[in-house]
Chains A and B, each alone.
Chain A
Amino acid sequence: MEIKLPRLKAQTIQRQLFIDYWQELHNAKESEKKVAWVSGMSPSELLSAMDFLIIYPMNHSATCGAAGVATVLCEISEQNGYSPDLCGYQRCDIGSALMGEQTLSPVRPPRPDLMLVTSNQQCHQIFKWFENISRIYDVPLIMVDVPFLDDTATKDDELSALKYVKEQLQEFIYFLEGFTKRRYNYDRLQECMAYASAAYDLWYEGLFNAAKNIPSPISTFDLFIHLGPMLYLRSRPEAVDYYRNLKDEVLERVANGQGAVPDEKFRLFLNGMNWMKIPSLAKLCASYNACMVTGIYPLLFTLKGGDISRPVETMAKSAINSLLNRGLQTRINAVENLVRDFAIDGIIAPTIRGCKPISSFQLETMREVERLTGVPNLEFETCMVDTRYHSDAQVEVRIQAFMELLENRVKK
């Protein structure tokens, strides 16, 4: 039986926001605005303050995945020498760029004038991915290297990492002044950061934390879907309005005792990510009265704000302090705390093919969290967007078995 999950009204608002934003992107040339392609963890405020319009290739690939064209785009990059073992997002996005005007992408991203990549948690592939795209379009690529802070990292290591990131951000600002032939607009930067910080706080309180309620008013599906404005629009007042609205809507659900799934019985945690399958996974779990209430991914890909009077320092701090940039023990602690705080009954842990930085943590984290909390987990292999590496039937059978396991634990 197909379960219909109640949608948040904000989703309709988001849709319109994105239609307008992509319109702006496609008119960039006419309106003489520059377009920058940036990686998920980049301090895009630096660019927004200089009137750049931002595109996230990662998000673009997710969009292609949702539209069902990602696998073909991945195949195109493979035909051009890219290994099928590489990140699905990367293969999809490069495939789209290689097709040029003929791309199958539903949003057809306009070509970049500039690319900015940040290496959070050692994702080497994203550097190479951006390098390859910048070569295809022949545009400048700026790399901001955020040193990984592993389990042996000391306070000194942290300070030297902070110093190093600050230096690079400053170097990037000088570059931007040369590139745009304009003085850098620090006032605008502070404004952008203030919006971003407010949007983050509203998202964190209104959406992320709201899932602690029993029943949970939202599922991870909502959590993921409503990350969009945080990426694209966080430097604008629209993002703040959006998340305020969303928070009100979610709190209304809480007040009414309305859950995201009918008769919530189990609360699940998603440790990993699979964009193309999020709706079907959420529905599948809901059919067992299980709500996937939260996950690690949104925390990995959001940047907390801070003191806007020292913008470079604040941006550098949020980059190095991101959970994504920390070692195995920090990750284990984070998952353990979330599992306890959100009263989780089980963890769904997809290993994402090609995503080494996230997947390499998986086995040790799951084993240790199970030992510490007694919460069982289910692992299976999938890909971000490439359907050739995901089997619906297999996942369904395994989730069914996992649900039976959870049922039996309740009976005991």
Chain B
Amino acid sequence: MHLIVPGEKLFMEETLKRFIAAKQSLYDNLKQWKKASGKKIVGCHPMDIPEEIVHAAGMLPITLMGFDGAITHATRSLQPTIACNILLENLEMCLNGTLDFLDGVIFADVCDTIPILSDIWLRHSHHVLHHLMVMPKHLNSPSSRRRVSEQFLRLKAAIEKQNNKKISDRALKHSIGVYNQNRRLLKRLYDLRLCKPGLLSASDVSAVVTAGMLMRKEDHNQLVEQLLLELENLPVPTSDMHVKLIVSGSLCGHCDSVLSVIDAQGAYILEDDLYIGSRYFTSLTNEDIDPIEALAQRYVDDIPSPTKFFDANAWANYISNMVIRDKADGIIIVMRKLCEIHADDFPCIQNKLNNGGIPCLMIEIERAGVSEQDKTRIQAFIDMLGVQ
């Protein structure tokens, strides 16, 4: 669903379609691209992987974001009552051959299951590159901050070993530039949406971000730039009558089912704190210092993340400030079932929002769909905010 008056958006629609196509084809386009280009593709498990290092080695880093087919093999290795569905979906794709086209896979141990998933994956796959980044579980001490750069260097060395080729500082700086450009462009898109709520539906914004995780950043940059040009010339839609929301969470995967309920309800999202959203692109990397140090600095100074064990208060404040700053009517928190890192920070966030009088709804999602019950809850939440 697109929210612009027909006739004015024809050109933009065409651009948008390309994002949506990239998102829908998921891995099929990539297989073709690989065949045509002869380049290597590396799957990155969400989240926190310094893709720039992969990019600088001339390989294409893509995000593994699950699929909506049947899970039949993966549950023989990981119990569905223990592992979240994103991880099961990715493992299923490893076991059923969908990901055989990958030349490598990289994990960062952002949760309890990933390190073990990595070892399970290793037993059942034949990717040339298999790498687990063991990140510090806190960033409170000089030693733990040093460990971040060590782990980034370790990833760089592993890639260099596989390719039998050094990654030069120049190449890495170039890649950082490409990624920063991508982040700036997406930030512009988000700023535009904040100024002109309703310009794009939440599902479309999600398609734009998702596409970037599945294609060359250079190509994505071009597409986003074109989209921005078209959007910036569109008139501002009226938004007074619409409920305005912030959406947060859905770490590691998309929550399109929730977003489309919000779209269908006619509510506007002002800004998000989603993994496939602002969490992916908010912080820039310093282009003037040693590139590995710069990437490590980005990791440390990034927006609050439950995977890096900032005090949960920091995340709670970040979210609550976003709602207040944007003058949103309320916030929907999307939590993936069995995501322990999110579930553990949630009580603190809930307290903060409650104390600030900010209306908040928590929706737990399992796989692609949203239950009828949750659909009703989202609708009722939006209706309630509309009345207020």
Rounded to whole Å, the gap between the CB of A287 and the closest CB of chain B is 28
Which of A10-18, A119-127, A196-204 forms part of the interface with chain B?
Answer: A119-127
Q: What residue of chain A has the Cβ atom nearest to residue B112's Cβ?
A: A356
* Interface 0/1 of A128-147, CB less than 8 Å to B: 11011001000000010101
Rounded to whole Å, the gap between the CB of B43 and the closest CB of chain A is 16
Rounded to whole Å, the gap between the CB of A365 and the closest CB of chain B is 10
Which of A24-32, A50-58, A81-89, A226-234 forms part of the interface with chain B?
Answer: A81-89
Residues of B within 8 A of A150 (CB): 115, 118-119, 132, 134
Establish whether residues A124 and B137, one from each chain, have CB atoms under 8 Å apart when the complex forms.
Answer: yes
By size class, the interface of chain B is 35 or more
Establish whether residues B347 and A147, one from each chain, have CB atoms under 8 Å apart when the complex forms.
Answer: no
Q: What residue of chain A has the Cβ atom nearest to residue B144's Cβ?
A: A145
Q: What residue of chain B has the Cβ atom nearest to residue A148's Cβ?
A: B115
Which of B13-21, B23-31, B75-83, B264-272 forms part of the interface with chain A?
Answer: B75-83
Residues of B within 8 A of A86 (CB): 340, 343-344
Q: B359 an interface residue at 8 Å Cβ cutoff?
A: no
> Which residues, 312 to 331 on A, are CB-close (under 8 Å) to B?
327-329
Establish whether residues A360 and B82, one from each chain, have CB atoms under 8 Å apart when the complex forms.
Answer: yes
Establish whether residues B337 and A152, one from each chain, have CB atoms under 8 Å apart when the complex forms.
Answer: no
Q: What residue of chain B has the Cβ atom nearest to residue A87's Cβ?
A: B340
Q: A80 an interface residue at 8 Å Cβ cutoff?
A: yes
Establish whether residues B150 and A359, one from each chain, have CB atoms under 8 Å apart when the complex forms.
Answer: no
Establish whether residues B83 and A85, one from each chain, have CB atoms under 8 Å apart when the complex forms.
Answer: no
Q: B341 an interface residue at 8 Å Cβ cutoff?
A: yes
CA distance A363 to B117 in the complex (A): 12
Establish whether residues B81 and A164, one from each chain, have CB atoms under 8 Å apart when the complex forms.
Answer: no
CA distance A362 to B138 in the complex (A): 28
Establish whether residues B344 and A148, one from each chain, have CB atoms under 8 Å apart when the complex forms.
Answer: no
Question: How many residue-residue contacts, CB under 8 A, span A and B?
Answer: 150
Given the interface contacts A143-B137, A145-B138, A362-B79, does A152 sit within 8 Å of B343 by beta carbon? no
Q: B130 an interface residue at 8 Å Cβ cutoff?
A: yes
Residues of B within 8 A of A125 (CB): 112, 340, 344
Given the interface contacts A82-B347, A86-B343, does A357 sit within 8 Å of B116 by beta carbon? yes
Rounded to whole Å, the gap between the CB of A235 and the closest CB of chain B is 25
Given the interface contacts A85-B337, A143-B138, does A122 sit within 8 Å of B112 by beta carbon? yes
Q: B52 an interface residue at 8 Å Cβ cutoff?
A: no
Establish whether residues B348 and A82, one from each chain, have CB atoms under 8 Å apart when the complex forms.
Answer: no
Q: B388 an interface residue at 8 Å Cβ cutoff?
A: no
Most-contacted residue by chain B among A80, A86, A132, A143 (CB, 10 A): A143
Q: A21 an interface residue at 8 Å Cβ cutoff?
A: no
Rounded to whole Å, the gap between the CB of B248 and the closest CB of chain A is 15
Given the interface contacts A81-B347, A85-B340, A148-B115, does A363 sit within 8 Å of B76 by beta carbon? yes
Most-contacted residue by chain A among B78, B116, B337 (CB, 10 A): B116
Establish whether residues A128 and B119, one from each chain, have CB atoms under 8 Å apart when the complex forms.
Answer: no
Q: B216 an interface residue at 8 Å Cβ cutoff?
A: no
Residues of A within 8 A of B337 (CB): 85
CA distance A381 to B79 in the complex (A): 10
Q: A297 an interface residue at 8 Å Cβ cutoff?
A: no
* Interface 0/1 of B326-362, CB less than 8 Å to A: 0000000001011011011111101100000000000
Establish whether residues A359 and B344, one from each chain, have CB atoms under 8 Å apart when the complex forms.
Answer: no
* Interface 0/1 of A150-193, CB less than 8 Å to B: 11100001001100100110010000000000000000000000
> Which residues, 51 to 82 on A, are CB-close (under 8 Å) to B?
80-82
Establish whether residues B116 and A360, one from each chain, have CB atoms under 8 Å apart when the complex forms.
Answer: yes
Q: B123 an interface residue at 8 Å Cβ cutoff?
A: yes
Residues of B within 8 A of A124 (CB): 111-112, 137, 340-341, 344
Given the interface contacts A145-B136, A327-B119, does A85 sit within 8 Å of B112 by beta carbon? no
Residue from A164, A171, A353, A357 in contact with B112 in the complex, judged by beta carbons closer than 8 Å = A357
Establish whether residues B115 and A122, one from each chain, have CB atoms under 8 Å apart when the complex forms.
Answer: yes
* Interface 0/1 of A329-373, CB less than 8 Å to B: 100000000000000000000010110110111111001000000
CA distance A257 to B364 in the complex (A): 56
Most-contacted residue by chain A among B123, B137, B350 (CB, 10 A): B137
Establish whether residues B81 and A351, one from each chain, have CB atoms under 8 Å apart when the complex forms.
Answer: yes
* Interface 0/1 of B139-162, CB less than 8 Å to A: 011111001001000100000000
Most-contacted residue by chain A among B141, B311, B351 (CB, 10 A): B141
* Interface 0/1 of B249-281, CB less than 8 Å to A: 000000000000000000000000000000000
Establish whether residues B340 and A128, one from each chain, have CB atoms under 8 Å apart when the complex forms.
Answer: yes
CA distance A86 to B111 in the complex (A): 13
* Interface 0/1 of A94-122, CB less than 8 Å to B: 00000000000000000000000001011
CA distance A309 to B119 in the complex (A): 36
Residues of B within 8 A of A157 (CB): 134, 154
Rounded to whole Å, the gap between the CB of B347 and the closest CB of chain A is 3
Residues of A within 8 A of B132 (CB): 150, 152
CA distance A81 to B364 in the complex (A): 13
Most-contacted residue by chain B among A119, A127, A356 (CB, 10 A): A356
The 9 closest A-B pairs by CB, nearest first: A128-B344, A81-B347, A356-B112, A328-B119, A167-B143, A83-B343, A360-B116, A145-B137, A143-B138
A-B contact pairs, 27 of them (CB 8 A): A80-B347, A81-B347, A81-B351, A83-B343, A83-B346, A83-B364, A86-B343, A87-B340, A122-B112, A122-B115, A125-B112, A131-B309, A135-B311, A148-B115, A150-B132, A151-B119, A164-B147, A171-B141, A328-B119, A328-B123, A357-B116, A359-B82, A360-B79, A360-B112, A361-B116, A363-B77, A364-B123
Q: A124-B341, A152-B132, A356-B116 are in contact. List 20 more A-B contacts (CB 8 A).
A: A82-B347, A85-B343, A127-B309, A128-B312, A128-B344, A131-B312, A131-B344, A132-B312, A132-B348, A143-B138, A145-B137, A150-B118, A150-B132, A164-B144, A168-B144, A328-B116, A356-B82, A360-B79, A362-B79, A364-B120
